[in-house]
Chain A
Amino acid sequence: MEPQLIHELEALLGPTAVLSAPEDLMLYEYDGSVELGSPRCIVFPTSASEVAGIVRLANKYETPIVGRGAGTGLSGGAIARSGGIVVAFSRMNHILEIDGANLRAVVQPGVVNLDLSRAVEHLGLYFAPDPSSQKSCTIGGNVSENSGGPHTLAYGVTANHVTGLELVLPEGEIVRIGGRSIETSGYDLAGLFVGSEGTLALVTEITVRLMRKPEAVKTLLAVYDTLDDTTESVVEITARAITPAACEMLDGFTLRAVEDFVHAGFPKDCAAVLLIEVEGLTEAVEAQAAEITEVCRLHRAREVRAARNNEERNLLWRGRKEAFGAMGRISPMYYVQDGVIPRTRLPETLRRIEEISRKYDLQIGNIFHAGDGNLHPLILFDERDRAQFARVVAAGGEIMRHCVEVGGALTGEHGIGMEKNELMPLIFTPDDLALMERVRAAFNPAGRLNPGKVLPMGKACGEIRVPPTPSPAAIPT
C-alpha cells in the first residue's frame, strides 16, 4: 500500500498507534460473522481530533475507512470489505462523566457495554441495552448497530437510550447532535445516526440514559415437551398483555449443548424451554410471575420453576448468553440469523424452520428473543464441506424469505452489514432504497466510510452473499 499514508498516520498518531504488518492485519480481518476482509492498516486514535485527522488523510489518499469496536458484530459491519483504514476505538475507552442525578453518562465509543453498568452499579443504576456479547462489545459498536439484547423487550434498543452524539463526518468535521436532555428540537439526527452501521459518520462520544435497577426480579424457567406448546405460550403471554422484561426461548438441541458446557440445570430431555424474567415493584413481580406460570401450565409446560437466588438466576442467564459459544463444542462453524416476525406467527415459523432443516439436511438450533419475535436460527456446518455450505446459504435465504412473507424484517439487532445488504430489496422498493442512498450520499458523498454495507451494491439482488471462504468460528461471547 501507499507507504506515505502509513508514514503520515504514524506522524499523526505516533508509531505505536498504527499497525500494518500482515500478521497484525490478520487479527482484524473478521468479526463475529462469517465474513472476511483485509484492511491495509489499523489505527488507534485517542481523541476526536485524531479521528478527524485520520479521516482527512483517508480523503487525501482516497482510502476507505471503517470504524471498529470489539469486533463482536454479527453482520460484518466492522470488516474492511474494500480494504483501507480500520479505525479501532479500543484506546478511546473512557467513561467521561457519570451524572447519576440526571441519569446520564457520557462515554467514549470504546467503552465496553458491561463496564458502564459496573461503573454505575454503586448508584443503583445500569445501562439497559444488554447484547449477549456485553462483556466485550463496545458502546460505540452498539450505537452503530443499534444493538438489542434480551431485556430490550421491556426497555428498548440502543436508540432508545442515546440522547446525544459527537460525530466525525467524512469531511473531517467534528459536530455534536442531540444533547443531554430527553429531546432536542429539529430533525432527530441521533435517531438517524444510531443504527447507521458506520456508513454516515464515525462516533467519537456518546451520551446515554441510565436506568434505575428494579426493586425485585424474578426469573422463571418453563420446560416443554413440544415446540408448539412453547411458542403458543409466548403468543398467549403477549396477547394477555403481560409484559415481562425478557422472554427467551432455547430449543432442546441448543439446551443440550449449553447444559454440557454451563451446567445451569437445564433439562436435557425436553423440546424447549422459556427463560422469562419479570421486574419491577415486588407486588407487580409476584402478580406477573403468577400469571405467566398459569399461561405456561395451560400450554402443558412440564415444569415451571423460579430461580431461588441470584446465583441460580445468573447461571440461567449464563446459559442463555453463552449459548452461541457452547455451539463451538459441537460444530466447527455456525451461521446465525436475526430475522424478526410478528409475535403471533411464532408457532408456524418454528415449524417452517424445522421443515427447512430437514429439506437441506442441516442441523439448526434455535435460541432467541421470543418475546419480541426476534429469531436466531443457528445453522451448523463444517466449512471444509463446500456443498454443505451452499446448502447453509440456501436454507438461510429461505428462512429470511419466510420472515419477510409473514410481515417481518431481515434483522432485529445484528444489522444488515455486508451479510444481508443484497437482501434489502426483499423489504424495500427501489424508491425506498434510492432515498436511503441519497441520505447516505448526503453525509458520505465519496462513499469512503464503510463501503459495501447496509445498501445493496447492485450485483445479485435478493441473493444472500456467499463468502469466498468462511472465516474460522469466531466465538461470540
Chain B
Amino acid sequence: MSRSEQSSVTRLEEIVGGLYAVTDPAQLAARAVCGVRPAVIARPADPAQIAEILRLSAAEKLAVIPSASGTKLGIGSPPARYDIALDLSRMNRVLAYDPQDLTLGVEPGVRIDDLLGTLAEKKQFLPLAVPFSERATIGGIVATNSSSPLRHAYGGVRDFCLGMEFVTGEGARAKSGGRVVKNVTGYDLHKLLIGSLGTLAVITRVNFRTFPMPPAQGTFAASFSSAEAAFDFCRDISRSVLTPQMVEVADPGAGRLLFSPEASTRIIPMHWSVIISGAGQPAVVDRYARELGRMADAAKAAEFLPLNDAEQAFVCARIREFPRLVLEAAPDAAIFRIGVLPGATPSLLRNLNEIARHYQVDAATLTRASGIVYAAFFVPAGKGAPSIATASAVREAFHICSLPETAANAMLEWCPSEMKRVGIDCWGPPRPDYELMRRVKHSFDPQNVLAPGRFAGGI
C-alpha cells in the first residue's frame, strides 16, 4: 500500500470509525470486481459519512464502487480503477412504512427477503422476485435494475419507485421524486440511477409504492413440443382479457436447469414450458384455470397442469433464481439479458439456438413474455476450452440482436472476467445515445469517482 493510500485509509477510519475501515486481504478479495481488488472497504453508517468519503475520493482521485451483499458485482465492465469498496450493509433500516398509504422508504442495505417479510405482515409486497433473493439488497437491485417475472403485471423498478435520496460523485447529498404516488415536481433524476451500476451516485434511500397481496394466486404450467406452439399460446394469452402476474417461457435447456434436479414438479423439463400465474379473488383464479386450460388445448399443449401450492412455490422460486441456477451449473456461462418485442422473440430464440449449435455450446433461454429474454451459453464440463467457443457465440449473438429485423437490446449481464478482457464489451455495440449518457455522468460525477469504466460507452 502506497503512502498516499495509507493516509486515505487513515482518513476513512476517521470518517467511519476504525472498525468499519477494513483492509483484511480475504475481505478485500470478496469485494473484487472482475478480478480487480479494492485497497480498502469502508462501511459507512449514514449519508453524511458517504458524502465525506466521496469528497475525500474526489479530492484524492480515488475510485469508489458501492455494494452491499455483493451478489451482482460481476455485472458490468471491469473497473478502470477501484480503490474503495463502499459497503452499504450497515444502512439496512426501513425508514418509513405507511401501510395505509401503501408507501415505503428504505435504506440501500435492506435485504429484499427481510423487506418482503415486513410487508407480508401487512399483506403487502413489492413485485421484486429477483435472483440471489436471500442476500440481495435494495440498493443492488435498484442499481442493476434486477429483473423480476412479476414485471408482466407490475412493471419494472422505474414504474413503482417514487423517489430517491443519494450522494453524488462530488459528495453532495441530493434527492428527486418524493414519497407520494403521483408526482411531477422537478426532473426525475432518480430514474437515471436505476440500472446505473453505481456510476452516478450512491443511493441512500429509495421510496416505493407497495402493492396489496392478492387474496388468491394460481400458477399453471403448459408444456409444448415446439417453440412455435409455446409462443402461439403466449400470443393467445396476450390477446385475451386475462392480465396474468407472470408469463414465462422456458426452453428445454432452461427446463433442465429449472425443473429437473429435485423432481419437485410434474413439469416435463424436456419440453418448452410456459408458466403463468394469475391472481385475485378465488373466482378470478378459477377463471384463469378454465381459460388457460382451454387456450392450452387449442395450442396443442402436451400437458396443462394447475400446480399445487408446493409446486407453485418451488417453480416461482426457480424462475426467480434463473441466472443464479445457470451460474451454479456452469460458472463460466455467458448470460444475456435482452429486451425484445414479443413478436420478434421466436425468431430471436431460433437464431440463438442456431448459434449455440454452430459453436457447440449449450443454450438455455428463459423468456418473460412481455419482452425480456434471458439467454445463457455455456460449455458442458469436460468439453474443451470453454471461453473461446462461448466468446464466439456471444459475439454472434450481439450481432443478431443489433440487426434491424430483430431490433433487440442485448446486454451481457454475466460472463467470466476473462471474456471481458479479450475485448467483449458486455454492453454491446456502441449506440448514438452514449454521448447523452456521458453528459449525465458528467453532471453527477464530474471527477469520475464512482465506478469508473464499469458502464456503457466506457462511463
B121 at the interface (CB under 8 A from A): no
Bound together, the chains give a CA A443 to CA B436 distance in angstroms of 8
Q: Mark A354-380, 1 if CB is under 8 A from B, else 0.
A: 000000000000000100111000000
Q: Looking at the complex, which of B1-9, B25-33, B248-256, B278-286 is the stretch in contact with chain A?
A: B278-286
- Asked whether A373 lies within 8 Å of B180 as measured between CB atoms, the reply is yes
B173: shortest Cβ distance to chain A, in Å? 6
- Asked whether B182 lies within 8 Å of A340 as measured between CB atoms, the reply is yes
Query: Within the complex, which residue of B100, B145, B427, B457 is in contact with A235, where a contact is CB–CB below 8 Å?
Result: B100
A332 at the interface (CB under 8 A from B): no
Bound together, the chains give a CA A342 to CA B407 distance in angstroms of 41
Given contacts A182-B156, A283-B287, A454-B187, contact A157 B182 (CB under 8 A): yes
Chain B neighbourhood of A409, CB < 8 A: 178, 180, 183, 185
Given contacts A175-B436, A372-B182, A429-B174, contact A182 B372 (CB under 8 A): yes
Which residues, 368 to 396 on B, are CB-close (under 8 Å) to A?
A: 370-372
Bound together, the chains give a CA A231 to CA B341 distance in angstroms of 42
Bound together, the chains give a CA A73 to CA B101 distance in angstroms of 29
Bound together, the chains give a CA A184 to CA B124 distance in angstroms of 29
**Chain B, Cβ-Cβ closest to A291:** B281
Given contacts A101-B235, A442-B443, contact A407 B180 (CB under 8 A): yes
Chain A neighbourhood of B212, CB < 8 A: 241-243
Bound together, the chains give a CA A415 to CA B183 distance in angstroms of 9
Chain A neighbourhood of B289, CB < 8 A: none
Query: Within the complex, which residue of B103, B123, B189 is in contact with A436, where a contact is CB–CB below 8 Å?
Result: B189
B50: shortest Cβ distance to chain A, in Å? 14
- Asked whether B284 lies within 8 Å of A427 as measured between CB atoms, the reply is no
- Asked whether A435 lies within 8 Å of B168 as measured between CB atoms, the reply is yes
A246: shortest Cβ distance to chain B, in Å? 13
Bound together, the chains give a CA A152 to CA B155 distance in angstroms of 14
A405: shortest Cβ distance to chain B, in Å? 13
Q: Looking at the complex, which of A114-122, A187-195, A266-274 is the stretch in contact with chain B?
A: A187-195
Query: Within the complex, which residue of B168, B187, B372 is in contact with A192, where a contact is CB–CB below 8 Å?
Result: B187
Chain B neighbourhood of A99, CB < 8 A: 341, 343
B99 at the interface (CB under 8 A from A): yes
B2: shortest Cβ distance to chain A, in Å? 33
B411 at the interface (CB under 8 A from A): yes
Which residues, 424 to 442 on A, are CB-close (under 8 Å) to B?
A: 424, 427-429, 431-432, 434-436, 438-442
- Asked whether A408 lies within 8 Å of B178 as measured between CB atoms, the reply is yes
B439 at the interface (CB under 8 A from A): yes
- Asked whether B432 lies within 8 Å of A189 as measured between CB atoms, the reply is no
Q: Mark A203-246, 1 if CB is under 8 A from B, else 0.
A: 00000000010110000000000000000000100110111000
Q: Looking at the complex, which of B191-199, B217-225, B309-317 is the stretch in contact with chain A?
A: B191-199
Chain B neighbourhood of A414, CB < 8 A: 184
- Asked whether B182 lies within 8 Å of A374 as measured between CB atoms, the reply is yes
A183 at the interface (CB under 8 A from B): yes
- Asked whether B187 lies within 8 Å of A238 as measured between CB atoms, the reply is no
Given contacts A280-B243, A442-B439, contact A185 B100 (CB under 8 A): no
Chain A neighbourhood of B241, CB < 8 A: 212, 214-215, 281
- Asked whether A442 lies within 8 Å of B172 as measured between CB atoms, the reply is no
Given contacts A235-B100, A241-B102, contact A182 B175 (CB under 8 A): no
- Asked whether A435 lies within 8 Å of B184 as measured between CB atoms, the reply is no
A11 at the interface (CB under 8 A from B): no
- Asked whether A283 lies within 8 Å of B280 as measured between CB atoms, the reply is yes
B371: shortest Cβ distance to chain A, in Å? 5
B361: shortest Cβ distance to chain A, in Å? 23
**Chain A, Cβ-Cβ closest to B240:** A212
- Asked whether B100 lies within 8 Å of A344 as measured between CB atoms, the reply is yes
- Asked whether B99 lies within 8 Å of A411 as measured between CB atoms, the reply is no
Given contacts A374-B182, A427-B178, A431-B173, contact A188 B195 (CB under 8 A): yes
- Asked whether A101 lies within 8 Å of B174 as measured between CB atoms, the reply is no
B325 at the interface (CB under 8 A from A): no
Which residues, 136 to 171 on A, are CB-close (under 8 Å) to B?
A: 145-146, 148, 152, 156-157, 159-160
- Asked whether A185 lies within 8 Å of B427 as measured between CB atoms, the reply is yes
- Asked whether A179 lies within 8 Å of B155 as measured between CB atoms, the reply is no
Which residues, 408 to 459 on B, are CB-close (under 8 Å) to A?
A: 408-411, 427-428, 431-437, 439-440, 442-444, 455-457
Chain B neighbourhood of A424, CB < 8 A: 185-186
Query: Within the complex, which residue of B194, B431, B440 is in contact with A442, where a contact is CB–CB below 8 Å?
Result: B440
Q: Mark B145-187, 1 if CB is under 8 A from A, else 0.
A: 1000001000110110000000010001111101111111111
Query: Within the complex, which residue of B339, B436, B455 is in contact with A179, where a contact is CB–CB below 8 Å?
Result: B339
- Asked whether B174 lies within 8 Å of A146 as measured between CB atoms, the reply is no
- Asked whether B189 lies within 8 Å of A408 as measured between CB atoms, the reply is no
B405 at the interface (CB under 8 A from A): no
- Asked whether A192 lies within 8 Å of B371 as measured between CB atoms, the reply is no
Bound together, the chains give a CA A408 to CA B185 distance in angstroms of 10
A465: shortest Cβ distance to chain B, in Å? 16
- Asked whether A179 lies within 8 Å of B409 as measured between CB atoms, the reply is yes
- Asked whether B172 lies within 8 Å of A186 as measured between CB atoms, the reply is no
Given contacts A159-B188, A408-B178, A436-B189, contact A185 B456 (CB under 8 A): yes
Bound together, the chains give a CA A369 to CA B241 distance in angstroms of 26
B59: shortest Cβ distance to chain A, in Å? 18
- Asked whether B180 lies within 8 Å of A188 as measured between CB atoms, the reply is no
Bound together, the chains give a CA A343 to CA B372 distance in angstroms of 34
**Chain A, Cβ-Cβ closest to B291:** A281
A181 at the interface (CB under 8 A from B): yes
B95 at the interface (CB under 8 A from A): no
Chain A neighbourhood of B151, CB < 8 A: 182
- Asked whether A180 lies within 8 Å of B341 as measured between CB atoms, the reply is yes
Chain B neighbourhood of A241, CB < 8 A: 102, 123-124, 212-213
Which residues, 72 to 118 on A, are CB-close (under 8 Å) to B?
A: 99, 101-104
B101: shortest Cβ distance to chain A, in Å? 5
Bound together, the chains give a CA A434 to CA B446 distance in angstroms of 14
Bound together, the chains give a CA A186 to CA B194 distance in angstroms of 9
- Asked whether B98 lies within 8 Å of A410 as measured between CB atoms, the reply is no
B340 at the interface (CB under 8 A from A): yes
Which residues, 402 to 426 on A, are CB-close (under 8 Å) to B?
A: 407-416, 420, 424
A27 at the interface (CB under 8 A from B): no
Bound together, the chains give a CA A284 to CA B339 distance in angstroms of 31
**Chain B, Cβ-Cβ closest to A374:** B182
B80 at the interface (CB under 8 A from A): no
B301: shortest Cβ distance to chain A, in Å? 21
Query: Within the complex, which residue of A102, A145, A340 is in contact with B180, where a contact is CB–CB below 8 Å?
Result: A340
**Chain A, Cβ-Cβ closest to B285:** A283
Given contacts A186-B431, A427-B178, contact A416 B184 (CB under 8 A): yes
28 A-B interface contacts by CB (under 8 A): A102-B341, A102-B342, A145-B184, A176-B433, A179-B339, A181-B408, A185-B427, A186-B455, A187-B192, A187-B437, A187-B440, A189-B436, A192-B189, A195-B187, A212-B239, A241-B213, A287-B283, A374-B182, A408-B178, A409-B183, A416-B184, A428-B175, A429-B174, A432-B176, A434-B174, A436-B187, A443-B439, A455-B186
Mark A residues whose CB is within 8 Å of B: 99, 101-104, 145-146, 148, 152, 156-157, 159-160, 175-177, 179-189, 191-192, 194-196, 212, 214-215, 235, 238-239, 241-243, 280-281, 283-284, 287, 340-344, 369, 372-374, 407-416, 420, 424, 427-429, 431-432, 434-436, 438-443, 454-455
With A344-B98, A412-B184 known, 10 other A-B pairs at CB within 8 A are A101-B343, A148-B182, A181-B409, A186-B195, A188-B195, A212-B238, A287-B283, A373-B101, A411-B184, A424-B186
